[in-house]
Structure 1
């Protein structure tokens, strides 16, 4: 699923001959970083209510980078730098990426795996 998300990123750039949409692919690298650095490397800390300052910072930064992943194509489209089709392909890619993360999180919660 992650590979198809990256493929859609590349197709959004290649079909329209504009490589600006690759900025949101950079956000795919940034999204898991707060969880890895501040959350102890576990996705369990993002859904728990307890925590501390570092866990809350990880939650905030993960949310901010997720919103940035959606905002970059919208801003680029509003500025006229990318086409509407490229923006829609970017949104599809983001949806597949989020589904991949949710499947990984669900599999990591189960002890049977």
Structure 2
């Protein structure tokens, strides 16, 4: 039952994060902060593709390669872009500062939800 409660809580926090991003667009009549949602969608894709292509799911648990590292690097680029894009848009005066703050808070909630989900529901490997 604890798993169901944590999924419901994570879904609620994720919905609040997306709501903040959408409100940062709708309240200030400027839809540029919605570009941040593209980084939410694109961020996990390089990690998943590079891990699958490199054979990370093989029998050897300590296997690592440059392809996996490249996937982590590109995912990191997307995550940093998700946080920095509202700063750049606000600096260029494309969006207002309150829209920037709401977009960044929404991003923190969305990425925090993704991290919490992977922490709670990752499969634990036995060492023996």
TM over 0.5: yes
Ranges in structure 1 where 5+ consecutive residues have no aligned partner: none
Deviation per CA, 1:73-96, whole angstroms, max 9, x where unpaired? 011001100000000001100110
Distance 1:98 1:21 in 2: 16
Give the alignment partner of residue 104 of structure 2, picking from 65, 85, 91. 91
Ranges in structure 2 where 5+ consecutive residues have no aligned partner: 1-12
Matching of residue 17 in structure 1 with residue 41 in structure 2: no
Give 1:101's aligned residue: 114
Distance 2:24 2:94 in 1: 13
Q: Secondary structure at the match of 2:64?
A: coil
Deviation per CA, 1:19-46, whole angstroms, max 9, x where unpaired? 0100111111111111121123xxx99x
Give 1:77's aligned residue: 90
Give the alignment partner of residue 51 of structure 2, picking from 15, 18, 39. 39
Give 1:3's aligned residue: 15
Distance 2:85 2:30 in 1: 14
TM-score by length of 2: 0.75
TM-score by length of 1: 0.85
When Rg is computed on C-alpha atoms for both structures, the one with the higher figure is: 2
Q: Runs of 4 or more off by more than 4 Å in structure 1?
A: none
How many residue pairs align between the two structures?
107
